Amino acid sequence: MRFPLARLLVITATIAFAATSVTIASAATAKPRGDLVPAGAGAVTWSYPLPVRAKILEGSITVTNPKIVSEVRTLVNRLPISDQKPRVCPMDMMLPYTVSFEKNAESKPFTKVVFQLGGCPYAQVYQAGTAIKPTLGGSNLSAVYAKIQHLIAPHGQPLA
């Protein structure tokens, strides 16, 4: 059976497009399976930069209320992945805010979430000191961070 050249080109282009679509879909970055902040936290600590007389100190607040710990964990786990396109973010040098999850108030964190809210906002999750890819973000990242901050410190960031 002979195919006209035009028909053969259409079939070839269709097969090439289908193969490309599969490649693009499989190369897309998906959110890792499961919760990035696993269950088991009995405390959450919010650490924030505290500029004092030409130097930056770190302030922190630890909360052990199980309801608040659970709400903060849920908010982080619901964040979508950030936009992975390379771009220039001029204000990424802003000081980050960290939310750490611990078994209890005296233990070392097993998961940390570092929020970079300037330039191109994102949240980087660390488990046992290792960055988990991809980063989290979404258009409502700043609003989610503000809600987390309010849950942990309802009266705002304490001053030095």
Is residue 124 domain-resident? yes
Is residue 112 domain-resident? yes
One domain for residues 120 and 142: yes
Is residue 104 domain-resident? yes
The tokens describing 91, both together, are 């204000």
- The average confidence (pLDDT) of the chain is 77
One domain for residues 126 and 93: yes
One domain for residues 57 and 26: no
Is residue 36 domain-resident? no
Domain of residue 49 covers 43-152
Is residue 158 domain-resident? no
pLDDT digit string (tens) for 33-71? 568 899 999 999 999 887 777 777 788 899 999 999 999
Task: Enter the pTM of the model.
Answer: 0.73
pLDDT digit string (tens) for 79-99? 998 866 666 676 555 778 999
Q: What is the pLDDT of residue 115?
A: 93
Burial of residue 30 (number of CB atoms within 10 Å: 0-12, 13-18, 19+) = exposed
